[in-house]
Amino acid sequence: MKAAVLYSARDIRIEEVETPKLQTPGDVLIRVRASGICGSDLHTYRLAEPADPGQIMGHEYSGEVAEIGNEVQGLQVGDAVVAVSFGANAEYIRIPREGRGIIIPMPPTVSFAEAATIEPLANSVHIANLADPSDGDTIVVMGAGIIGLGTIQALRAMSSAKIIAVDFSDFRLSMARELGAEVTINAGQEDPYRKVLELTGSTSVAFMEATPAGNVDTVCDCAGWLAGHTGTPPVQQGLQMLRPKGKLIEHSIFEKTPEINFFLLARKEIQLQGSWGFTLEEYNQAADMIGSGKVDRKPLVTHEFPLDEAKKAFETQLQYEEAIKIVLKP
């Protein structure tokens, strides 16, 4: 079978490799129909960390059951499924009974490409669940990539909270408005902290009169802090925007450690909440959101490439702000 194999930074090749075989009675073999390029895949592709030479890329995908072990229940050959396991940028992938992997029926109302975005939406659902939004809340989402935009979708599906999106890309901010953000801020044109103060008003904090607090209930940082980034880190901007006792949810990739004002964190009694991954329940919750039509993922699948053009697909995801979610199709 064909597979996209990473050897070093930005050196990905399409190679013929052995088609996986069932190894235990509980294994499932999937014919991949669509697999996405995740932000973590892009990080690995760009830096080759963490990666072993010869690693097949990808982990978010949809497809059809090609073969099942004799102890597998609830699945039949030919079933359309969505799954999470490593090595998905290939024509086939084996999901072992023992190991890291998720497989559930694919919602019947969506395409294979849309279904391949359930995994990143599950991350966004996890963020939204941690935010626990109420209808009167003001929530800032930092970063309008696939996770940030999905977080806007999940928050909007859960509540009528006021959502403010922050990014450097007018294209992505336009999509944020389309998906449910009432207000957008281009961080390259305006100071997000000052703009949020203007929009929400300010609150005072004793001994910090020179830097008034914002009036935001929750900040979801989906932007991270990459090696080439300069200026004020989004996590620090979030601390400034929050009202006293507000919540900052951190769900990002960091290539360098940002400076954080822990005095500000303590003085405002802010809750700093880490976020990573999702539960099986949240994966099913994301699938239900897409299958029921509460969330439309079609606008987010901006590019589709054949598997043979994996190199071009990864470079497009890396270089173009208009590339939100790229899907590879074997």
What is the pTM (predicted TM-score) of this model? 0.95
Tens place of pLDDT for every residue, the chain, 330 residues? 999 999 999 999 999 999 999 999 999 999 999 999 999 899 889 887 666 788 999 999 999 999 999 999 999 999 999 999 999 999 999 998 777 789 999 999 999 999 999 999 999 999 999 999 999 999 999 999 999 999 999 999 999 999 999 999 999 999 999 999 999 999 999 999 999 999 998 776 665 655 677 899 999 999 987 767 778 888 889 999 999 999 999 998 777 788 888 888 888 899 999 999 999 999 999 999 999 999 999 999 999 999 999 999 999 999 999 999 999 999
Residues 263, 125: one domain? yes
Residues 75, 91: one domain? yes
Residues 145, 202: one domain? yes
Residues 21, 128: one domain? no
**Residue 172 sits in a domain of what CATH number?**
3.40.50.720
Residues 131, 76: one domain? no
Contact by Cβ (8 Å): 153, 177: no
In angstroms, the CA 312 to CA 297 distance is 23
Contact by Cβ (8 Å): 227, 258: no
Residues 164, 306: one domain? no
| Within-domain flag for 256 | yes
Residues 36, 71: one domain? yes
In angstroms, the CA 55 to CA 57 distance is 6
| Within-domain flag for 168 | yes
| Within-domain flag for 167 | yes
pLDDT of residue 50: 61
pLDDT of residue 205: 67
User: 3-class DSSP state for residue 280?
Assistant: helix
**Residue 97 sits in a domain of what CATH number?**
3.90.180.10
Residues 240, 165: one domain? yes
User: 3-class DSSP state for residue 230?
Assistant: coil
Residues 152, 234: one domain? yes
* Residue 133, domain extent: 121-274
| Within-domain flag for 287 | no
In angstroms, the CA 140 to CA 152 distance is 9
| Within-domain flag for 290 | no
Residues 126, 270: one domain? yes
| Within-domain flag for 288 | no
CA distance to 60, 89, 178, 207, per residue, from 150 (Å): 15, 22, 12, 38
Structural domains counted in the chain: 2
Contact by Cβ (8 Å): 116, 84: no
User: 3-class DSSP state for residue 221?
Assistant: strand
Residues 55, 137: one domain? no
| Within-domain flag for 149 | yes
| Within-domain flag for 57 | yes
Question: Taking the C-alpha atoms of 190, 193, 199 and 205 in order, what is their torsion angle to the nearest 10 degrees?
Answer: -160
pLDDT of residue 232: 85
pLDDT of residue 309: 98
pLDDT of residue 201: 87
Tokens read off for 90: 């290939």
pLDDT of residue 209: 59
| Helix/strand number for the chain, H first, E second | 10, 16
Contact by Cβ (8 Å): 301, 120: no
Q: Is 263 exposed, middle or buried (0-12, 13-18, 19+ CB in 10 A)?
A: exposed
Residues 9, 150: one domain? no
pLDDT of residue 259: 81
Contact by Cβ (8 Å): 278, 122: yes
pLDDT of residue 228: 72
In angstroms, the CA 125 to CA 157 distance is 10
Contacts of 196 (CB under 8 A, 6+ apart): 140, 164, 185, 214, 216, 241
What one-letter code names the amino acid at 305?
F
User: 3-class DSSP state for residue 59?
Assistant: coil
